[in-house]
Structure 1
């Protein structure tokens, strides 16, 4: 909780909301891939048929159907959505961070007095 408290309430709420929406969308995308690959079998769809299962489609598949490939595509969509979610949460974090780059990179040096603000600016300009 101390970690979230350091963000401030508004920033923590926005980041948490972004993560919640993104994680929910990743599950929706995963299930949508399965639904999109079996369009004629939606009548055999059950929502939350048992604990731990979100959706179940009962379908007769041909013997040579690549079920592992379907799962790979679904998990690829899930992973992509989670990466987009992480980027969006980082963007929210960056948008609400008002520090200058020198304050971020040289935080400990400035705080301990090892370097003055003028020296910090010169150091950053030389990079």
Structure 2
């Protein structure tokens, strides 16, 4: 019986680790152009700035040299989920302020239900 319990715990642990891995990761520079929507209105939240960066990359061809592609946000419906995914994920208050007030290089780890954003360089 003890062996069955150990095996079950081991398998559960492996499953948890698989789910903890992001489905994709990308780097992006959030330049001044990413702080404005396509109508020229200033964006004031980290989530909308990150979403605009992806729209600029995939729709408008406005790419910064450090911007990378990803397999998830190239789809418009998935970009629409970005704000909710960020609210379910992680972004420190410090990093949020840097994104909203600067032009940092960020790393975005995309998981099935959330994103984790980290400022790599401000």
Per the normalisation by structure 1, the TM-score is 0.26
Structure of greater Rg: 1
With structure 2 as the length reference, what TM-score do the two structures score? Answer: 0.27
Which structure shows the bigger proportion of residues in helix conformation? 1
The structure with the greater share of residues assigned to strand is 2
